[in-house]
Amino acid sequence: DHVKACGSVLDSDLPTPILLCLLGYTTLSGEIGTKKKVKRLLSFQRYFHASRLLRGIIPQASLYLLDEDYLGQARHMLSKVGTWDFDIFLFDRLTNGNSLVTLLCHLFNVHGLIHHFQLDMVTLHRFLVMVQEDYHSQNPYHNAVHAADVTQAMHCYLREPKLASFLTPSDIMLGLLAAAAHDVDHPGVNQPFLIKTKHHLASLYQNVSVLENHHWRSTIGMLRESRLLAHLPKEVTQDMEQQLGSLILATDINRQNEFLIRLKSHLDNQDLRLEDARDRHFMLQIALKCADICNPCRLWELSKQWSERVCEEFYRQGDLEQKFELEISPLCNQQKDTIPSIQIGFMTYIVEPLFERWAQFTGDTPLSENMLNHLRRNKAKWRSLLHKQHSSSRSNDHSGQVTDSQEQTLNEEETP
């Protein structure tokens, strides 16, 4: 009865303030105990207590709320969740480290998904907490804040006019779920590391899209455990699981050229038919790929933080490889691979080609132009920092000469 009463509260769309109040109660669960079962129980109790409030039943004792100032700021930020300068780091602090759960609950409500799919809010929250907790907070980059950042970017892309008018509720829910869970349980090391250390995941997935397959399968496991979609017909849930896998697998950076070539062909031939579910799904894959690597297209203050975080994760892998006397992977040697050089290469060969094609698809909307402008400015700043590093390297060189390896690296990095 408790579950039924609690689940019925949000069968229809709720105003944002009510959602925030609910989320305000649940953000406290992370502070009490470390066991997931305890957290989820506390979270459920708060939701049930909140449901009594919403049904007009006055509680006997007052509820302990998140500080009203923080709650007010989080509410204000959510009112601007569709803007590109959204600061996910600030939002994560305001929500007490619950940015992913808070953001997804809000977006599911905004897009009318709770009502359309008749989702039980307690079950949705339970699933989202499972996803958020399955990210490794010790990872500098591949953590729940990155997932929340990608989800916010995906929300922005789903609102692009060229795409939005064709999207179904299923498309939107799959896009948001894929964004939220696309890196779940990421170990903080890359696929080559898993392969050369003979990790069981590499064997399980036969060295092909190892991490992405794991993210997908982990997500499906949590969906089934939570029973979020259990009330839907079996054929519908099976199709959703497959589409979710197709979206998450598309984030494999090793498949970048495959998707770029296909996108270029569609754009050149002008044969994208978004009325067709297959073409819509392809553009959702492209949107998720963009969201996953959009950090260089953010404001410099945000972009720089992400760059430092991802490089720190690379360097940690390099230290681990050195410790176990393995060959240090590309980009993971802190002594040779500087943050500016890594970022310039990433922007030039990975980010720019994809976002230029995305802008071609969207038709140079304000968002696409804004992202490309940030990308160009950020790349110029990294070039400036790289130049300063090389100038410092020259002045510190006893011979006063740049070594052959430094000159070669500089030439490669300065070549578009």
Q: Which two tokens stand for residue 169?
A: 């509720």
Q: List the binding residues for Zn(2+).
A: 146, 182-183, 292
Average pLDDT of the segment spanning 342-352: 98
Helices 234-249 and 210-226: angle between axes, nearest 10 degrees: 150
- Tell me how far apart the terminal alpha carbons of the chain are, to the nearest angstrom: 63
Sign of CA dihedral 66, 68, 71, 73: negative
User: Is 101 a residue whose pLDDT tops 70?
Assistant: yes
Q: What positions carry a catalytic annotation?
A: 142
CB 357 within 8 A of CB 264: yes
CB 194 within 8 A of CB 213: no
Average pLDDT of the segment spanning 354-383: 98
Q: What is residue 194's three-state secondary structure?
A: helix
Q: List the binding residues for AMP.
A: 142-146, 183, 292, 343
User: Is 55 a residue whose pLDDT tops 90?
Assistant: no
Question: What was the pLDDT predicted at 140?
Answer: 98
Single-letter amino acid, residue 24: G
Query: Mind listing the pLDDT tens digit for each residue in 377-412?
Result: 999 999 999 999 988 777 765 444 434 444 444 344
| Angle value at C-alpha 303, between 297 and 305, nearest 5 degrees | 165
- Domain residue limits, the chain: 84-390
Chain centroid to Cα 84, Å, comes to 14
Region label for 64, one of left (φ > 0), alpha (ψ between -120 and 50) or beta (otherwise): beta
Q: What's the mean per-residue pLDDT of the chain?
A: 85
Question: How many CB atoms are located within 10 Å of the residue 392 CB?
Answer: 10
Q: How far is CA 266 from CA 282, 283, 371, in A?
A: 10, 11, 22
Please give the share of the chain, as a percent, with pLDDT higher than 90: 76
Tokens 């500098």: give the residue: 140
Residues 6+ apart with CB under 8 A from 349: none
Single-letter amino acid, residue 379: K
Say how far apart CA 121 and CA 126 lie, in whole Å: 8
CB 91 within 8 A of CB 149: no
Q: Which two tokens stand for residue 322?
A: 């050195």
Q: How far is CA 239 from CA 178, 235, 243, 252, in A?
A: 14, 6, 6, 21
Question: What was the pLDDT predicted at 63?
Answer: 31
Question: What was the pLDDT predicted at 67?
Answer: 60
pLDDT band at 100 (very low <50, low <70, confident <90, very high): very high
Query: Mind listing the pLDDT tens digit for each residue in 142-184?
Result: 999 999 999 999 999 999 999 999 999 999 999 999 999 999 9
Task: Count the helix, strand and coil residues of the chain and give each as a percent rounded to the nearest 5.
Answer: 70, 0, 30
Pairwise pLDDT comparison (138 vs 16), residue with the higher score = 138
Query: Mind listing the pLDDT tens digit for each residue in 319-328?
Result: 999 999 999 9
Residue 198 φ/ψ, nearest 5 degrees: 55, 45
User: Is 45 a residue whose pLDDT tops 50?
Assistant: no
Average pLDDT of the segment spanning 16-35: 41
Question: What was the pLDDT predicted at 390?
Answer: 86
Average pLDDT of the segment spanning 199-216: 98
Say how far apart CA 26 and CA 107 lie, in whole Å: 17
Say how far apart CA 2 and CA 76 lie, in whole Å: 32
Q: List the binding residues.
A: 142-146, 182-183, 292, 343
Does the domain at 84-390 match CATH 1.10.260.40? Answer given as: no
